[in-house]
Amino acid sequence: MEWASRVTTIGLEFALPTLIGFGVDRWLGTTPWIAMTGAILGVILGMTHVLRLPAELARGRRPDRLATRESDADRGDETA
């Protein structure tokens, strides 16, 4: 589930700014400059997130709920 949410988030970071820019362009009747700006912003956001992933994996960073489960299991082993 964690990876599915990461992949979905990254995909939305790439796509949503472009789609919002396209919608604003249609609403205002302008040329596609807002959509182009949204596309550039989406690529910057998405790539920033993609490039941060290896650093997080290298540090061994885990969500709090997984760390809590492991610490609960460790405590159970110590008392047994």
Domain count, the chain: 1
CA atoms within 13 A on the CB side of 50: 13
pTM of the model: 0.64
State which residues form the domain around 44: 2-79
Span 22-70, pLDDT tens digits:
999 999 998 899 999 999 999 999 999 999 988 888 887 665 555 555 5
Cα 77 to Cα 62: distance, rounded to the nearest angstrom = 21
Show the tokens assigned to 29.
């009747």
pLDDT at 31: 85
pLDDT at 19: 95
Task: Output Rg (C-alpha) for the chain, integer angstroms.
Answer: 20
pLDDT at 76: 60
pLDDT at 66: 56
